Every structure is written in C-alpha cells, then in structure tokens.
Amino acid sequence: MKAITNISSLICITRSNQPFKTKEDLNNIDEINNAAVIFDENILWIGKSRDLHNTIDEKNYQLDEIIDANQKTVIPGFVDSHTHIVFGGNRANEFARRLQGATYIEIAQEGGGIQSTVKATRLASKQELFESASQLIDSAIKHGTVAFEIKSGYGLDLDTEIKMLEVIQMLKNKFPAEIKSTFLGAHDFPIEFQHDRDAYVDLICSEMIPEIAKLKLADYCDAFVDKGYYTIEHGRKIFETAKKFGLEIRTHADELDCVGAAELAAEMGAKSADHLLFVSDYGIDAMRKNNVVATLLPGTSFFIRLPYANARKIIDTGNIVALATDCNPGSSFNENMQMILWLATLNLRMSMEEALIGSTLNAAYSLDLHNKLGSIEVGKEASFLMLNDVSYKELFYHYGSNHIAKVFIKGAEYTY
C-alpha cells in the first residue's frame, strides 16, 4: 500500500460513479487542491494532504511508501480507444509522397495504403509483429496511456487476422495496461476479392467471425463503412453476424464521406462510431439517442490533411465524446495521447476539460472499462499519471514535450 501526498491538483474527473459525461458536465473535472491519495492496486482513499496522517492512523493502514508529489498534478491515465498498433512494414515513403502532393486516397488506389501494410503483415512473423507493437505500446504508456483498444485488419485472410489477434493476446500478457481487441477483417478488401466484394463479406460472416468468436480472440467487431470501402449493407450484414456470435460493435464511420455509417452504428447498438468527419445531423442525433460514443481522432485529420470532425456540434447536441489516436502506419502514425489532447483543443475546439474527460472517462466507457478506469475515485484501479506541472493547464499550453513524470498502472509505477 502506498500514498501520494502534496498533490497541487488532483483531477478526479468524477467521484460519483458516473459512467460518462456529456454537455456542460464536460467542464467539471472534479479538481481537489492540496490532495493526497492512498492506494494498493485500487484507490482506497482520496482527500486533502493535511488529512493523510490522521486517515492512516484511524484506518490502521500499513503503508510501504509515501510519495511526495512536490506540488505536481495527478490525472487519470489516458484510455486510447482506437488503435491499429499491430502491423508489419512501414510507410514512410508514402508519407514523403503525400508531402509532395499525392493524396491518401490516390495512394490507396495505386495499391499502396492499407494494401501495402497487408502485404507486409502477411509476411511478418508473430514475433516481429509482437516486437514492433511492444515498442509502440511502451512509448504510449510512457506518454500516459494505461488502456488500449487494438484492431486486427491488416491480414484480410483468416490466418493473418488470427495471427494479429494472437499478437494482441501476447501484448495483453506482457503489459500491465488493459488491452481490448477488435476484429477488423472488414478494413479493406483483399486483392483476391477485389472483383467480388460480396464474396469476401460472405467469407467474413460464414468463416472468419465464427472462428474468431470460437477462439475468443476478440471483444469487438469493427468495419470500415465508407465511400470506396464497405457499404451500409455490408456493414449491417457483418455487424448482425458479429452480434449473433457475441461480439460488440464499434465502427469506422463517415471518415471519407457522409455515407450514413453513424446511423448504422446507432441502429446496431454500437458502443462507438469513430472518425465522423462527414457525419450528418441525422447521424449525430441517432448516435445520441442510442448512447453510441462519438470517438474523434484528430490525429488522422492532421496527418492526412482532412477536415476536422465538427466536435462542437457533436458535443453541444449532447453526445458522448471520446478521443483516441487511431495509431496506424498510414493515416496517423502517433501513439502519444498528449498530441491528441493538443489537437482536440486547438483544432476540434474542445475545452481543456472536455479533452481530459474525452480521453479518460468517456473513452473508458466506450470500452466497457468505466468501472475500473477513467477517473480517480475510490474502488477504481490506481492507474494514474503524475505530471511535471503544477496545473493541468500546462499539459495543453506547453505543447510538444512529454509532461509525464510517473505512470502508475494498477498501483505499480511503470518502469519498463
């Protein structure tokens, strides 16, 4: 058992077991000044520094260590609820071409993009995929991420999709961070099925989903429902099958064009619809009515120079908004959630408080982790970050450097 004392600003987010926050409540981050926390794997007590010693005596707590925060800030660990962190190869040359004017879609149409990562991922061994993903996860944790969602989707055949999902299992065993896995067989169409897309959707439904569900390798099923990729009908068929096999739904939605993917997410009772750059007003409304989390990925708009999602409209109409990296080798090669917080304030026009809640509690809710993570409250896991700063505002103001002094996951300091 340990305590941290002399915390200038403890950002709890909530202490009343709220599963998520919306609207005006997004500006209330439940801050305590001059605070202390007592924890083992879980949080046992939260209060003022001046009450720490009395509490230890009264409750007869046996502490191994009292850490002096030296008037620094403590916030909940970030939850990165949308990543493609397991992949083979590298697309730096594509990025160079994009800087010279080629667009993401043009490169994809020439057989680059997702397809080039599919080739490299099919060729890579499990160990190679595990090692490169481990480096990214280690770096993400050092930048404050304590929970991840990781998707397959660079295999597009049953064997490689299973290989990717098994690598995600290996990562779950290696890292103390919480990891949820998502089957994204419907990411792109494999070259073998380029001229018979419906046949690949049939294969996903008749063979891939049943096998992956049987092996218990995925928590969620996702599909890239967008212009040039999966149609609404494809998405509906895939999601209905996934639900029959016990997988929950999260989806790439309206990233490249407005195709009604957010409405489909609402119809299917998805946990989350992600990207939403071109979502319609109907889609926004349907998501709100069905508690579908709107996961915004500003790193992608930044990296492939697309417009930003209309976060203001999505928030002001009462939707549950979460933030994530979309970490992947093509459209957003970034594992650092602090980068996403900067972009959310400057380019999504979210307040600092909205960005903090979006990257903690609301993201945890989208992964069904809100009972363990997302806020600093008694009973939840002791997974939080000590910043180098006196105020959380510095985290946004001083952009481009790592603000994390210490990362605690389930009570233990992360020291890989």
Which residues of the shown chain bind ligand NIG in the complex (CB under 6 A)?
Answer: 84, 113-114, 117, 224, 252, 255, 300, 326, 328-331
Q: How far is the CB of 61 from Fe ion (least distance, A)?
A: 44
- Residue closer to Fe ion (CB basis): 104 or 414: 104
Q: Which residue from 117, 94, 113 is spatially nearest to 105, judged by alpha carbons?
A: 113
Q: How far is the CB of 369 from Fe ion (least distance, A)?
A: 19
Separation between Cα atoms, residue 356 and residue 350, nearest integer Å: 10
For 85, 232, 251, 267, the CA distances from 289, given in Å and listed in that order, are: 31, 20, 17, 10
392 binds, among ligand NIG, Fe ion, none (CB under 5 to 8 A by kind): none
* 414, 408 Cβ separation under 8 angstroms: yes
Determine the size of the site formed for Fe ion (CB under 5 A). 1
- Residue closer to ligand NIG (CB basis): 170 or 306: 306
Q: How far is the CB of 318 from Fe ion (least distance, A)?
A: 25
Q: Reading across the β-sheet that carries 220-225, which strands appear in turn?
A: 78-83, 145-151, 178-186, 220-225, 248-253, 272-275, 293-296, 321-323
**Per CB under 5 A, 254 contacts Fe ion:** no
Q: How far is the CB of 84 from Fe ion (least distance, A)?
A: 6
What are 412's two structure tokens?
């233990």
CA 73 to chain centre: 23
* 186, 238 Cβ separation under 8 angstroms: yes
**Per CB under 5 A, 30 contacts Fe ion:** no
- Residue closer to Fe ion (CB basis): 84 or 380: 84
Cross-strand bridge partners of residue 252 = 224, 274
* 301, 332 Cβ separation under 8 angstroms: no
Residue nearest Fe ion (C-beta atom): 326
255 binds, among Fe ion, ligand NIG, none (CB under 5 to 8 A by kind): ligand NIG
**Per CB under 5 A, 326 contacts Fe ion:** yes
- Residue closer to ligand NIG (CB basis): 241 or 332: 332
* 71, 406 Cβ separation under 8 angstroms: no
Strand 412-413 to strand 145-151: parallel, antiparallel, or no bridges (unpaired)? unpaired
155 binds, among Fe ion, ligand NIG, none (CB under 5 to 8 A by kind): none
145 binds, among ligand NIG, Fe ion, none (CB under 5 to 8 A by kind): none
298 binds, among ligand NIG, Fe ion, none (CB under 5 to 8 A by kind): none
- Residue closer to ligand NIG (CB basis): 30 or 255: 255
Q: Which residues contact 403 (CB under 8 A, 6 or more apart)?
A: 144, 338, 387, 388, 389, 394, 395
DSSP 8-class letter at 206: I
411 binds, among Fe ion, ligand NIG, none (CB under 5 to 8 A by kind): none
Q: How far is the CB of 303 from ligand NIG (least distance, A)?
A: 9
Q: Which residue from 221, 162, 224 is spatially nearest to 197, judged by alpha carbons?
A: 224
331 binds, among ligand NIG, Fe ion, none (CB under 5 to 8 A by kind): ligand NIG
Contact set with Fe ion (CB under 5 A): 326
